[in-house]
Chains A and B, each alone.
Chain A
Amino acid sequence: MYPAAFEYHTPTSVKDALGLLGKLGDDAKILAGGHSLIPMMKLRLAQPKHLVDLRKVPGLAGVKEDKGALAIGAMTTHWQVESSSLVKSKLSVLSEVAGLIGDPAVRNLGTVGGSLAHADPAADWPAIMIALGAEMVCEGAKGRRTVKVDDWFKGLMSTALGDDELLVEVRVPLLAAGTGAAYLKFPHPASRFAVVGVAAAVTLDKQGTCTKVGVGVTGAGTKAVRAKGVEAGCTGKKLDAATIEAAAQKAAEGVDVQADLQGSVEYKSHLCRVFAKRALTEAVKRAS
Chain B
Amino acid sequence: MATATDDRLFGKSIKRREDPRFITGRGRYTDDLKLPGLTYAAFVRSPHAHARIRGIDTAAAKAHPGVVAIFTGKDMTGVNSLPCGWLLPELKVPPHPPLATDVAQYVGDPVAVVIAGDQETALDAAEKVRVDWQVLPSVTNTDKASAPGAAQLHEVAPNNVAFRWQIGDAAATDAAFKSAATVVKKRIVNQRLVANAMEPRACVARYDTATDELTLWVTSQNPHVHRLLMAAFVLGIDEHKVRVIAPDVGGGFGSKIFLYNEETVCSWASRKIHRPIRWTATRREAFQTDAHGRDHITDAELALSKDGKILGLRVKTIANLGAYLSTFAPAVPTYLYGTLLNGVYEMGAIHADVTGVFTNTTPVDAYRGAGRPEAAYLIERMIEAGAAALKMDVAELRKLNFIPKFADGYQTKVALLYDSGDYGAAFDKLLGMLDYKKFRGEQEAARKQGRLLGLGFSTYIEACSIAPSKVVGSLGAQAGLYESGAVRVHPTGKVTVLTGSHSHGQGHETTFAQLVADQLGIPIEHVDIVHGDTGRVAFGMGTYGSRSASVGGTAILMSLNKIKEKAKKIAAHLLEASAKDIEFEKGQFQVRGARDKAVPFGQVALTAYVPHNYPEGLEPGLEETSFYDPSNFCFPFGAHACVVEVDRETGQVKLLRYLAVDDVGNVINPMIVDGMVHGGIAQGVGQAICEGAVYDDASGQLVTGTMMDYAVPKADMLPMYETDRTVTPTLVNPLGIKGAGETGTIAATPAVVNAVVDALAPLGIDHIEIMPLTAQRVWQVIQGAKGAKGPVGAKA
Contacts and interface: CB of A to CB of B under 8 A. Distances in A.
B775 A186 contact: yes
A43 to B, nearest CB: 7
B650 interface: yes
Interface stretch (A1-9, A108-116, A137-145, A201-209): A1-9
B579 interface: no
Interface residues of B, number: 27
A191 B709 contact: yes
A146 interface: no
- Chain B CB within 10 Å — which of A5, A189, A190 has the most? A189
Contact of A5 (B120, B650, B706, B711): B120
A43 B650 contact: no
B650 A274 contact: yes
Nearest to B123: A2
Contact of B124 (A5, A39, A191, A193): A5
Contact of B120 (A2, A262, A263): A2
B780 interface: yes
Contact of B649 (A5, A44, A190, A274): A274
A261 B694 contact: yes
A262 B692 CA distance: 12
B124 A261 contact: no
Contacts of B707: 190-191
Interface in A1-37: 1-2, 4-5
A261 B775 CA distance: 11
Nearest to A43: B284
A264 B119 contact: no
A121 to B, nearest CB: 14
Contacts of A264: 776
A270 B779 contact: yes
Interface string B246-288: 0000000000000000000000000000000000001110000
Contacts of B703: 261
A234 interface: no
A189 B690 contact: yes
A190 B704 CA distance: 10
A262 B694 CA distance: 12
A43 B705 CA distance: 12
Interface string A173-212: 0000000000000101111010000000000000000000
B674 to A, nearest CB: 26
Nearest to B692: A261
Given A5-B120, A43-B284, A271-B650, A190 B710 contact: yes
Contacts of A2: 119-120, 123
Contact of B709 (A5, A261, A263): A261
B699 interface: no
Nearest to A186: B650
Contacts of B284: 1, 43
Contacts of B652: 186
B708 interface: yes
B104 interface: no
A237 B100 CA distance: 68
A49 to B, nearest CB: 14
A15 to B, nearest CB: 33
Contact of A4 (B119, B124, B776, B779): B124
A2 B780 CA distance: 41
Given A190-B708, A274-B650, A1 B282 contact: yes
A270 B650 CA distance: 8
A189 B774 contact: yes
B283 A1 contact: yes
A267 B283 contact: no
A190 B709 contact: yes
Contacts of B119: 2
B773 to A, nearest CB: 11
Contact of A261 (B123, B282, B650, B704): B704
Contacts of B382: none
Contacts of B120: 2, 5
A264 B694 CA distance: 15
A283 B67 CA distance: 61
Interface in A253-273: 261-264, 267, 270-271
B776 A190 contact: no
- Chain A CB within 10 Å — which of B120, B650, B690 has the most? B650
Contacts of B708: 39, 188, 190-191, 193
A262 B776 contact: yes
- Chain A CB within 10 Å — which of B127, B704, B709, B712 has the most? B709
B242 to A, nearest CB: 30
B282 to A, nearest CB: 5
Contacts of B282: 1
B331 to A, nearest CB: 31
A5 B123 CA distance: 11
A270 B779 CA distance: 10
A4 B119 CA distance: 11
A229 B694 CA distance: 36
Nearest to B120: A2
Interface in A66-96: none
A186 B704 CA distance: 19
A44 B42 CA distance: 14
Contact of A189 (B127, B283, B711): B711
Contacts of A190: 690, 707-712
Nearest to B780: A267
Interface in B111-167: 119-120, 123-124, 127
A190 B287 CA distance: 14
A107 to B, nearest CB: 15
Contacts of A186: 650, 652, 775
A191 B690 CA distance: 12
Contacts of A44: 127
Nearest to B704: A261
Interface in B678-706: 690, 694, 703-704, 706
A5 B120 CA distance: 9
Contact of B776 (A5, A193, A263, A274): A263
A190 to B, nearest CB: 4
A271 B283 CA distance: 31
Contacts of B779: 267, 270
Contacts of A1: 282-284
A221 B694 CA distance: 22
A263 B651 CA distance: 12
Interface in B701-739: 703-704, 706-712
B697 to A, nearest CB: 13
27 contacts: A1-B283, A1-B284, A2-B119, A2-B120, A4-B124, A5-B120, A5-B124, A39-B708, A43-B284, A43-B706, A44-B127, A186-B650, A186-B775, A189-B690, A190-B690, A190-B707, A190-B708, A190-B710, A190-B711, A191-B707, A191-B709, A261-B703, A262-B774, A263-B776, A264-B776, A270-B779, A274-B649
Given A2-B119, A39-B708, 9 more contacts: A4-B124, A5-B124, A190-B690, A261-B704, A261-B709, A267-B780, A270-B779, A271-B650, A274-B649
Interface of A: 1-2, 4-5, 39, 43-44, 186, 188-191, 193, 261-264, 267, 270-271, 274
Q: Which 8 A-B pairs have the closest CB atoms?
A: A189-B711, A190-B711, A191-B708, A189-B690, A1-B282, A274-B649, A267-B776, A263-B776
